[in-house]
Structure 1
Amino acid sequence: MTRETTSFVYVTYIRSTPQKVFEAITRPDVARRYWGHENVSDWKAGSKWEHIRANDERTVELVGKVVEISPPTRLVMTWANASQADDPSQYSRVTFAIEEYDTMVRLTVTHDELEAGSGMAKGISQGWPAVLSSMKSFLETGSGIDLFAKPKSA
């Protein structure tokens, strides 16, 4: 039986350069400033990467491998909860496509090969829009957004 999969595509435009957007994804010291996590790897095809919470506990929350890397325009990696790292069926794929677009960058994030209805699919459908908004704010203003903000009561 084949599992049903789903995918999400997010596109945002950022007043920045491809190099700065690529660094915002791959440099731990930059990612922690808008994401609250660090993406740690040597960023070579076939290398592992870890998504580590940037706090005192330094919890590894996500893991995967770098599938393809072409700085500063493309990064493809596998993606799974650290607790499910031993199960190949739990891995999905994230592709970052970074394109110069007039005086800005068009960033397209495609998260595919997700198990339909899974906790990961539900989580990333809310997570990516917030993270990408925070990245955009950070790169344009120097300050990310509060990723843990809740809606105000009416």
Structure 2
Amino acid sequence: MTEPLTTQVFRVWIRSTPEKIWTAITDPEWTAKYGYAAPAHFDLRPGGSVRYDATEEMRSFAKENGFEVPDVVVDGEVVEADPPRLLKQTWRMLMDPTTAAEPFTTLTYLIEELKSQPGVCRLTLTHELTGAPATSTMVAGSPLDEAGGGGWAWVLSDLKSLLETGTAMNGQG
């Protein structure tokens, strides 16, 4: 079995502004529209809290599959915030007992407006996962899973779809 990567880097190019991308990452009304649809709440100052709340869909899925979901599914704290360019935070998945027992990992979003392509930004997400093999496997996603198990690549693709078309891959918008 291959060891999970301790640093994973994902990139997506989005036809949008840095401000809109920043808002889509940090505003709970936006985060509830794409990816796993968990509203994210940020206190955007060093040491400020980060939390992603469980949704009713998550609770229903868990109940149907014989487990419970905590009210907060991801927690962490802001390390650095430089809107609309850089967000660095700690991150820990609480939905699964295995990932909840692992240490906090570090997630960095870098938003860069391309000089060569006006109106296009490169969003780079770097996830440092030292000491968190279960989290590493989870966020890497599975190329065989059509939805939900796609990890960060799937979340970023959904964010791109929402910002460029007004509709997420799940049809929400």
Letter in structure 2 aligned against 1:113: L
State how 1:1-150 maps to structure 2 within 5 Å. 6-35=6-35, 36-55=37-56, 59-82=71-94, 90-101=103-114, 102=117, 103-115=119-131, 118-126=133-141, 127-146=151-170
Aligned-residue offset at 1:80: 0.9
Deviation at 1:13, TM superposition (A): 0.2
Distance 2:56 2:92 in 1: 20
Give the drift of 1:92.
0.6
Letter in 2 for 1:64: G
- What SS does structure 2 have at the residue aligned with 1:43? coil
Q: Distance in 2 between matches of 1:30 and 1:145?
A: 14
- Quote the sequence identity (%): 33
- Residue 53 of structure 1 aligns to which amino acid in structure 2? A
Q: RMSD over aligned Cα, in angstroms?
A: 2.4
Q: Compared with structure 1, are the counterparts of its residues 100 and 134 closer, same or farther at alpha carbon in structure 2 (3 Å cutoff)?
A: same
For 2:34 and 2:49, the matched residues in 1 are separated by 22
For this pair of structures, how many residues does the alignment match?
142
Moved more, 18-27 or 39-48: 39-48
Contact 2:99/2:135, CA 8 A, preserved across alignment = no
One-letter amino acid matched to 2:22: F
* Deviation, structure 1 residue 90: 1.1
Rounded to whole Å, the distance in 2 between the matches of 1:136 and 1:114 is: 28
Asked whether the equivalents of residues 84 and 90 of structure 1 are also in contact (C-alpha less than 8 Å), the reply is no
Cα 1:8–1:105 change in 2 (3 A) is same
Is 1:26–1:39's contact at 8 Å kept on the other side of the alignment? yes
Distance 2:77 2:166 in 1: 29
1:7-39 CA-to-partner distances (Å, cap 9, x unmatched) read 100011000000000000100001101131111
Runs of 4 or more above 4 Å deviation: 83-87
**d(CA) in 1 for partners of 2:55, 2:13:** 26
Deviations 1:57-77 (A, max 9, x none): 583111100000000000000
Name the aligned partner's letter for residue 82 of structure 2.
S
For 2:21 and 2:129, the matched residues in 1 are separated by 24
Give unmatched runs, 5+ long, in structure 1. 147-154
